[in-house]
Structure 1
């Protein structure tokens, strides 16, 4: 029986070509995901208007 995998994660038996590419080149998809998450965090911080009070308007 197969163990459930998190979304976007393929086991080596399901995708042997992908597993080989990950070994050769690194997990590009995971790196892109981390970079996108970091960019979203930075954008949230840059656009945080919660510190602006109504008196400033």
Structure 2
């Protein structure tokens, strides 16, 4: 990343390579999430919403107007 940078090399020696550690941890979490979410993405797994797997299907946020909520 920072080749030939004595300041960066000194920080790594004192504190460890924090950006590399964070990158490795993020990649590990990403791999775990892929494993956990993979059954939900498989074609044979039923869609819990019942709406199908086309673009736009699924949860969408809608705005509420100010004032009392309808019952």
TM-score normalised by structure 2 residue count: 0.54
Q: Which runs of 4+ in 1 moved over 6 A?
A: none
Q: How many residues align?
A: 45
Q: Which residue of 2 aligns with 1:6?
A: none
Quick one: higher RCO (CA 8 Å, sep 6+), 1 or 2? 1
TM-score normalised by structure 1 residue count: 0.66
Q: Could you tell me which runs of 5 or more consecutive residues in structure 1 were left unpaired when the two chains were aligned.
A: 1-8
RMSD, aligned α-carbons: 1.8
Please say which structure displays the higher CA radius of gyration.
2
Write 1 or 2 for the structure with the bigger share of helix: 1
